[in-house]
Amino acid sequence: MAIDETMLRRAITDVLLSSAGLPTLAEAKKLLSKIKERVEVIVEERSGSKVSEQVLSHLHSLLGGAEKVKLLPVWVKEWTLERPDPLILVGGRLGGRYRFYGDPAEILEPMFLLAVAAAGGAWKPKTCKGLEAAKGTVVLYVVPGLPCAKAMYHTLPVMLCSKEAVLEVINIETWILEGGKPPVSRVPAFLTPRGRLHMGAPRGPADAVKLWQG
């Protein structure tokens, strides 16, 4: 009997996520069905980009069954951002402050869907104590891998608790696919509002909030 490679990869990914205390894709999708408030996910695509088209198709497959989620593609003629395309803006409770550049692929999928679910009120952090004062923009460089998934997971509570925090998640794998040169050699890597580079995933939300302060 032939083994389905895609199913095998998904099973291994689920084991990794569960062992790290992170939601699996199935669990994240279940949260999407519990969204209480409308969430707009705006996708700014570079005109003529095959990568943008592929990512939009991927997002349709991930979010297509969520009744409260509205996927809104916007074509941009001139891509002036020094980032991979497309730019995905998550609205709702996150108010467009949660920004993902590139493709939220593979093990990053559940973490992205968790952000969408949280934007619609279907997921909340255990506490906001100590997280409310975060301000400014933190850039998180990732590739599809468990440490990067952890980094996305632990920064999400900060985004929900503070109305002045901005998070830009950049998949440098997409960047390389588009012929770009990534600015970091190791991931996860964070660029703080003060321009300092921090390597490694935070241990939890209390550790993550320090990235906005440093």
In the prediction, which pLDDT does 18 show? 92
Residue 10 lies in a domain: no
Q: Phi-psi bin for 176: left (phi > 0), alpha (psi -120 to 50), beta?
A: alpha
Q: State the helix-helix crossing angle for 5-19 and 25-32, rounded to 10 degrees.
A: 80
Residue 20 lies in a domain: no
In the prediction, which pLDDT does 74 show? 96
In the prediction, which pLDDT does 89 show? 98
Residue 162 lies in a domain: yes
- Cβ contacts of 2 within 8 Å, gap of 6 or more: none
Structural domain that includes position 118: 25-213
Residue 11 lies in a domain: no
Please state, in angstroms and as integers, the Cα–Cα distance from residue 19 to each residue in 24, 114, 209, following that order.
Answer: 10, 17, 24
In the prediction, which pLDDT does 182 show? 86
pLDDT in tens, the chain (214 residues): 445 777 888 788 889 999 999 999 999 999 999 999 999 999 999 988 999 999 999 999 999 888 999 999 999 988 888 899 999 999 999 999 999 999 999 999 999 999 999 999 999 999 999 999 999 999 999 999 999 999 999 999 999 999 999 999 999 999 998 888 889 999 999 999 999 999 999 999 999 999 999 7
Task: Give the CATH number of the domain where residue 155 resides.
Answer: 3.40.30.80
Residue 44 lies in a domain: yes
In the prediction, which pLDDT does 75 show? 93
Residue 15 lies in a domain: no
Instruction: Count how many domains the chain has.
Output: 1
In the prediction, which pLDDT does 3 show? 58
In the prediction, which pLDDT does 1 show? 43
Residue 17 lies in a domain: no
CA distance 65 to 74: 21
Residue 181 lies in a domain: yes
